Amino acid sequence: MGGLTRFDCALGSHGLMRRALSVALYHAWQRQAFGKTLVEQPLMRQVLSRMALQLEGQTAALFRLARAWDSRSSREEVLRARLLTPAAKFSVCKAGIPFVAEAMEVLGGIGYCEESELPRLYREMPVNSIWEGSGNIMCLDVLRVLAKQPEVMAVLHAEYQEVKGVDRHFDRAWRQMQQRLRKPSEAQGREITHGLWLLATGMQVLRYSSPPLAQAWCRMMLDPRGDMVLDARVQNEVLLRATGGQG
């Protein structure tokens, strides 16, 4: 029951993030500043594209986790759900708080005002992070699974074989995680938990997204240098998908 409720927290935060992006996109399509709509301004287009790309990965990873929850007869899927549910709750619920703040900023002053929907979403966001075990508790849970059921990493490793060599940022992040897991310490719990969730997400993106979009996701989320500028092709594709083809 705890696992399912924690999964629900991650899904809830993801849904709130998606709603916040929809509100921001709708506004950016209409509001004109400096002679163009906001969505046509290069810097705003970057902001919106990055938000949409972040959610692309999250959606793929959460649906994959839902499949694991639905496959209770499979030992591998039970292990996957056991490890990745607290990781999803930690990472997604935490990411939601700055994400909604960014969406609010897309609307400018009216985004902050109570008449817009975003202050309510912003207030709602931290509860999923605290509820049913706060961030550190999720990380301690992940470390507990790694210690008590180390075979869980073989499940992820089998999936990694399918995407190995496709993206250098992903491969490097995978190698770094293997090193970290040789001697995991409680003090590194947040880095390990968030890193595992990003790797699980990256695997889905690399398997199911278009190559330019998948590479952009890996660079944005896994490259420690943080060079996140998305090219026009990725911007167009990710915004088209986020707006259901209105792009």
In the complex, least distance from residue 143 CB atom to ligand FAD, rounded to whole angstroms: 11
In the complex, least distance from residue 141 CB atom to ligand FAD, rounded to whole angstroms: 11
In the complex, least distance from residue 5 CB atom to ligand FAD, rounded to whole angstroms: 9
Q: Does 97 bind ligand FAD (CB under 6 A)?
A: no
Q: Which is nearer to ligand FAD, 94 or 241 (CB)?
A: 94
Q: Which is nearer to ligand FAD, 127 or 232 (CB)?
A: 127
In the complex, least distance from residue 87 CB atom to ligand FAD, rounded to whole angstroms: 15
Q: Does 154 bind ligand FAD (CB under 6 A)?
A: no
Q: Does 69 bind ligand FAD (CB under 6 A)?
A: no
Q: Which is nearer to ligand FAD, 136 or 178 (CB)?
A: 136
Q: Which is nearer to ligand FAD, 27 or 94 (CB)?
A: 94
Q: How far apart are CA 122 and CA 133, in angstroms?
A: 20
Q: Does 57 bind ligand FAD (CB under 6 A)?
A: no
Residue list 118-137, contact with ligand FAD (CB under 6 A): 127, 130-137
Q: Environment class of residue 115 by beta-carbon count within 10 Å: exposed (0-12), middle (13-18) or buried (19+)?
A: exposed
Q: Which is nearer to ligand FAD, 136 or 246 (CB)?
A: 136
> 180: which residues sit within 8 A by CB, 6+ positions away?
188, 191, 192, 195
User: Quick check: 25 and 40 in contact, CB under 8 A?
Assistant: no
Report the DSSP beta bridge partners of residue 215: none
Q: Does 86 bind ligand FAD (CB under 6 A)?
A: no
> 172: which residues sit within 8 A by CB, 6+ positions away?
222
> 81: which residues sit within 8 A by CB, 6+ positions away?
3, 7, 65, 68, 69
Q: Which is nearer to ligand FAD, 91 or 215 (CB)?
A: 91
Taking the CA atoms of 212, 12, 120 and 138 in sequence, report the sign of the dihedral they define. Answer: negative
3-class SS of residue 74: coil
User: Quick check: 159 and 203 in contact, CB under 8 A?
Assistant: yes
Summarize as ranges the residues that interact with ligand FAD (CB under 6 A). Answer: 127, 130-137
